[in-house]
């Protein structure tokens, strides 16, 4: 690694990012999920949705061996439902599965079940097919009698009734998703649509999933993947981010690149309370699919990836969530990877190059700011590790890197410094952004995986000949010096006490409380090195009352 000490930029917080309006094709909405709780235990919906699903299962399925049985056919009366492929019929299947809660306790515990309604296409041979326009409903009970298997209380934050989760594809609005939920329940459970809407608890209407994507020419895939990898590296460096980046095969195809984080604001995108996943993927067998078919081409897709804490976004915030996702897709694809509108690929549900024009706020200059900031952080690590005064800080950084995070106890044992000295250096390193202190007891860590990797490389470059044995020897030497100083101080204290006793016997001394002196080792004090320096500078402590052993340290003078 080459470190340019003169080229470093300040590591102060980044300024506000400049935003410029861009125009381009609007990314298509794809998979989505919304939930709602219905207050349906009494009133016009009684029996409730959950009770109706359970009865429907007994009436139409009735046996665990027949789970997933077809319980209804759908006609083309739904505006949102296109004709089935190849003359097939639309059908709905029903199955149950054991749920997390039930009633009773101990040996008398009995699990309840949740119910799954799924839309399928049925061909003339009786084979079922998962359609491009997917739809499924999951129905769960919300009841005060429910407990978990271990006996702990079951929580239902939106009140008693039935919880329904709808998952679907190719819906442009939350209104469309909720309409699909209501109309499907109305058709399958023989309930009134107006009564359903009246029983729906407004604060329970939450977004669980949202996606936006473009399908683009396979010839541009390499540079789009490269751009996403660069974003991954920059966000990793930013600290406090949760990153998942990998390349692996998954059900839907080959995942070329994948980044999930709650810190996209580091690149200038809007700060969100939820994680966003940005990925590029392609069908596993895409090379066998002709170029005339959409499945041959990759997608770049941004998706809502949940919240770390707090509640999911309300459905009224759907447009804001989708704007964030679409902005991230377009900024990466058109601005940073420089893909053209003509490179987009259409399919049965979106027009590719013919997608409507859409404007978004593109972050300008933030990527260069981040690169300068992180280059400066590397320089700071290098300076600390190569301090001419002592290898102590190098050893602290080395242990933190080797252990992937170290407690004060570990640092004290492995470095050989006193606790107060370690705390002083760690605090100073944290103020410069080199390390973070997390948890209780405190764990000293590098602020991100990427910083850790850079630190490991810098450690190797600073002292390529350093060995574990040499590091252990340095730590032992520091402990020996501390012990020797303590012994000498104890001897001095004993001499003073002996002298005081003699003075008392001769009657030449006044009260010992006024004439005796007390000395303590620095690591026994409630002071840190910086506080001692400030106290001396301000004359809060007399310079004659501080002494340093100098014979082992010729550089002190």
| Domains identified in the chain and CATH numbers | 21-30+209-364 (no CATH), 40-200 (no CATH), 369-466 (1.10.10.10), 471-556 (no CATH)
> By the 8 A CB rule, do 302 and 212 touch?
yes
Task: Compute the distance between CA of residue 70 and CA of residue 91 in angstroms, rounded to an integer.
Answer: 7
Residue with more model confidence, 387 or 247:
387
pLDDT at 254: 58
Contacts of 73 (CB under 8 A, 6+ apart): 89, 90, 91, 92
**Bigger pLDDT: 82 vs 404:** 82
Lowest mean pLDDT of 122-136, 250-264, 336-350, name the range.
250-264
| pLDDT at residue 251 in the model | 38
Nearest to 279 by CA among 306, 252, 241, 318: 252
pLDDT for the residue numbered 65 = 93
| Residue range 17-71, pLDDT digits in tens | 778 899 999 999 999 999 999 999 887 888 999 999 999 999 999 999 999 999 9
**Integer Cα distance of 336 and 135 in angstroms:** 35
What is the model's pLDDT at position 239?
44
Return the pLDDT at 244. 47
Name every residue whose Cβ is closer than 8 Å to that of residue 23 and which is 6 or more positions away in sequence: 357, 358, 359
User: Is residue 148 within 8 Å of 104, Cβ to Cβ?
Assistant: no
Per-residue pLDDT, 496 = 56
- Asked whether residue 329 carries a pLDDT value surpassing 70, the answer given is yes
**Rounded distance between C-alpha atoms, residue 272 and residue 261, angstroms:** 10
Place of tokens 């933190």: 400
The values of phi and psi at residue 245, to 5°, are -135, 125
| pLDDT tens track for 410-469 | 999 999 988 888 988 898 888 887 888 877 788 898 876 667 878 888 888 888 888 889
Q: Which residues contact 364 (CB under 8 A, 6 or more apart)?
A: 17, 18, 19, 20, 268
The pLDDT assigned to 255 comes to 67
Residue 302 predicted with pLDDT over 70: yes
Q: For residue range 130-171, what is the model confidence (pLDDT) as tens digits? A: 998 999 999 999 999 999 999 999 999 999 999 999 999 999
At residue 304, φ and ψ (nearest 5 deg) are: -65, 125
Phi, psi of 278, deg, nearest 5 = -120, 125
CA-CA distance, 548 to 524, in Å (whole number)? 15
At 315 the pLDDT is 97
pLDDT of residue 1: 42
Match 């974003």 to its residue by tokens. Answer: 231
| pLDDT score at 521 | 74
Check residue 27 and give its pLDDT: 98
- The reported pLDDT for the residue numbered 500 is 52
């Amino acid at each position: 690694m080459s470190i340019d000490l003169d080229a470093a930029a300040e590591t102060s917080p980044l300024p506000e990012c400049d935003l410029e309006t861009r125009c381009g094709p609007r990314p298509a909405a794809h998979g989505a999920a919304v939930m709602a709780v219905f207050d349906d235990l009494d009133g016009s919906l009684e029996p409730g949705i959950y009770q109706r699903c359970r009865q429907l299962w007994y009436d139409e399925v009735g046996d665990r061996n027949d789970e997933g049985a077809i319980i209804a056919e759908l006609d083309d009366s739904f505006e949102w439902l296109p004709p089935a492929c190849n003359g097939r019929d639309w059908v709905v299947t029903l199955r149950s599965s054991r749920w997390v809660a039930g009633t009773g306790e101990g040996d008398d515990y009995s699990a309840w079940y949740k119910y799954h309604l799924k839309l399928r296409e049925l061909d003339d041979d009786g084979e079922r097919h998962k359609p491009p326009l997917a739809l499924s409903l999951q129905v769960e009970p919300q009841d005060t009698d429910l407990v978990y298997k271990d006996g702990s209380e079951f929580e239902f934050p939106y009140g008693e009734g039935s919880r329904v989760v709808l998952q679907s594809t190719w819906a442009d609005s939350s209104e469309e998703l909720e309409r699909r939920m209501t109309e499907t329940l109305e058709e399958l459970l023989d309930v009134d649509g107006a009564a359903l809407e009246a029983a729906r608890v407004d604060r329970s209407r939450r977004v669980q999933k949202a996606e936006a994507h473009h399908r683009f020419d396979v010839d541009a895939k390499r540079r789009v993947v490269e751009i996403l990898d660069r974003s991954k590296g920059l966000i990793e460096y930013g600290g406090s981010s949760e990153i998942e980046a990998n390349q692996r095969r998954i059900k839907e195809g080959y995942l070329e690149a994948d980044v999930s984080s709650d810190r996209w604001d580091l690149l200038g995108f809007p700060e969100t309370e939820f994680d966003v996943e940005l990925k590029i993927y392609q069908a596993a067998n895409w090379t066998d699919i002709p170029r005339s078919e959409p499945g041959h081409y990759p997608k770049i897709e941004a998706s809502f990836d949940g919240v770390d804490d707090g509640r999911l976004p309300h459905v009224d915030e759907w447009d804001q969530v989708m704007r964030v996702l679409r902005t991230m897709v377009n900024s990466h694809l058109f601005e940073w990877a420089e893909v053209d509108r003509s490179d987009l690929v259409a399919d049965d549900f979106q027009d590719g190059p013919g997608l409507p024009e859409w404007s978004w706020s593109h972050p300008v200059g933030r990527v260069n700011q981040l690169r300068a900031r992180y280059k400066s952080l590397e320089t700071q690590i290098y300076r600390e590790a190569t301090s001419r005064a002592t290898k102590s800080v190098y050893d602290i950084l080395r242990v933190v890197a080797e252990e992937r995070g170290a407690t004060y106890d570990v640092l004290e044992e492995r470095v050989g410094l006193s606790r107060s000295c370690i705390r002083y250096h760690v605090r100073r390193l944290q103020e410069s952004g080199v390390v973070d202190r997390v948890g209780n007891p405190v764990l000293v860590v590098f602020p991100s995986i990427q910083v850790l990797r850079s630190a490991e490389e810098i450690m190797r470059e600073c002292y390529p000949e350093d060995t574990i044995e040499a590091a252990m020897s340095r730590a032992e030497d520091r402990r020996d010096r501390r012990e020797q100083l303590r012994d000498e101080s104890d001897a001095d204290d004993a001499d003073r006490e002996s002298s005081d006793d003699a003075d008392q016997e001769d009657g030449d001394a006044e009260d010992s409380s006024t004439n005796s002196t007390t000395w303590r080792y620095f690591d026994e004090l409630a002071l840190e090195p910086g506080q001692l320096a400030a106290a001396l500078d301000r004359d809060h402590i007399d310079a004659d009352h501080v002494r340093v052993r100098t014979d082992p340290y010729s550089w002190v003078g």
